[in-house]
Amino acid sequence: MSQLTEFGEPRRRSVNALMPRLFIVGIVLTVAIATVWELGAERHQIALSTEDAKLSAVVGPACPQVSAAAFQSAVTAQGRGLRYTFDFNGDSFSRSFGDGDCGVAAANGSLGLGTYDVCEFTSPGVISVKTSRGQFYFLPGLGQKATVMTPGGIARCVMAAPKLDS
């Protein structure tokens, strides 16, 4: 036997009862929009920096890469030591002479948000790079321009610096 139970009129929700929910929805939407906005701005900045790095123009022979012992011998032979050391995005760069200029480039497979360092040097003599993946030593020599890139935390050096040429 079925029995119908009457519970009365449906309750009407007042605006005051909905306010906390609307407030929470507003906060969630604001955070989501701000996050998307920030990611878009960061992606745009990375694209501009990649364009500024002129990676397609970094063409030249590889800098001679040497062991730590050979590097230390070269530094000692120059008689100046590593006079200039600086950190850039968590990587450390050292050289004996010249100037340096760094930027970032977009890393492949990172949806436009990952980057790696691109540093150009004028006549560095020797270059030491420390990344999360290890220590790297290069001997481009005096009077040579060099560009060091660190994709995936592995430093590589090319004896060319097109950005510094312009």
Instruction: Walk along the chain (166 residues) and give the pLDDT tens digit of each residue.
Output: 556 666 666 666 676 777 788 888 888 888 888 888 777 766 666 666 656 656 666 778 999 999 999 999 988 888 878 889 999 989 999 999 999 988 888 777 655 557 788 899 998 999 999 999 999 999 998 888 999 999 889 999 999 866 655 5
Q: Which of 150, 61, 139 is nearest to 105 (CA)?
A: 150
Domain tally, the chain:
1
The domain in which residue 96 lies consists of 53-165
- Number of Cβ atoms within 10 Å of the Cβ of 144: 19
Is 142 contained in some domain?
Answer: yes
32 burial type by CB count under 10 A (0-12 exposed, 13-18 middle, 19+ buried):
exposed
Is 35 contained in some domain?
Answer: no
Is 75 contained in some domain?
Answer: yes
Is 30 contained in some domain?
Answer: no
Is 25 contained in some domain?
Answer: no
- Outline where DSSP puts E strands in 30-144: 84-88, 91-95, 100-106, 115-122, 125-131, 134-141
Is 112 contained in some domain?
Answer: yes
